[in-house]
Amino acid sequence: MVSVASLLNPDPPPAPIPEPRRPLGSPDRLTISSPTDEPVPTTEKTDIAQMTQDSQMASRSRSKGTINFPPFEDVDDSSLREIRRFQVQNFGSIRETCRRIPYNSGKKDFSQKTGRESFEVFQYEFRLPGEDTIYTVMWDYYIGLVRMTPFFKCCKYSKTTPAKMLGLNPGLRDITHSITGGSIKAQGYWMPYHCAKAVCATFCHDIAGALIPLFGPEFPSLCIPRDNPRFGHMVIDPQITEASAREALRF
């Protein structure tokens, strides 16, 4: 049987994506379209004006419907220390931090496949140790789409990296969506949960603790270390993409 670790860490491609600078020390409706080489939004840091827009865009409420992708909040002491190191906000009450994000679909079949006219998301915020910038993690708890923008941004990758990553993984572009318009906090690439976890395992070693509420306490052990030659290649096992494509048809 193939192990989870081997699926998340497949053999490297011929050439890696250029390594980034090392980290650490009711408003407009949204539009969904197929991913292109568009840049990732450049402003991630929250301010009062943006928070006001966000509160208008989607109010916090209790979850609606089935929770297929819950947050991981029952963790051991080691995981809790990592979560605290990244100053994860509202940990322990992420289930009560829900947002409803309406959208207009550029793909006519998107709403038909999901049967929904909005994302129903959990969210939380984190900071890199010693820094003030806030990064917001969002994922749809029903269909499992994960917003990837903050992960690339806080790891200091270039704006074109997400598009390059999609090009390295056949079929992944077809099941990944980009959102433009509306609140900047919801803009960017949204990827199926298991693909997002696999991709993040290839380059998020330095921020793995911040992603425990999203991907689980085992996630840091699945991440490729920075000194490993495979770090940053961003190629995942095709079986994960194929399985996610089949899963998407069920929603």
Of the spans 24-38, 94-108, 115-129, which averages the highest pLDDT? Answer: 115-129
> In the predicted model, is pLDDT for residue 48 greater than 80?
no
Give all strands (DSSP E) within 127-207, no chain letters.
135-140, 145-147, 177-180, 188-192
Q: Which residue has the tokens 């990732």?
A: 40
Higher pLDDT among residues 177 and 79, named by residue: 79
pLDDT at residue 61, rounded to an integer: 57
- Residue 2 CA, chain-centre distance (Å), reads 25
191's tokens: 């990827």
- Are the C-beta atoms of 122 and 105 separated by less than 8 Å? no
Distances (CA, A) of 80 to 112, 126, 213: 40, 13, 10
pLDDT at residue 30, rounded to an integer: 40
202's tokens: 């290839």
> In the predicted model, is pLDDT for residue 175 greater than 80?
yes
Characterize 55-89 residue by residue with b for buried, 16 or more Cβ atoms within 10 angstroms of its Cβ, and e for exposed.
eebbeeeebeeeeebebbbebeeebbebbeebebb
- Residue 95 CA, chain-centre distance (Å), reads 17
Threshold 0.85, pTM exceeds:
no
Higher pLDDT among residues 160 and 61, named by residue: 160
34's tokens: 């197929």
Mean pLDDT over all residues of the chain? 79
In whole angstroms, give the CA distance from residue 173 to residue 177.
Answer: 8
pLDDT at residue 36, rounded to an integer: 43
> In the predicted model, is pLDDT for residue 241 greater than 50?
yes
> In the predicted model, is pLDDT for residue 37 greater than 70?
no
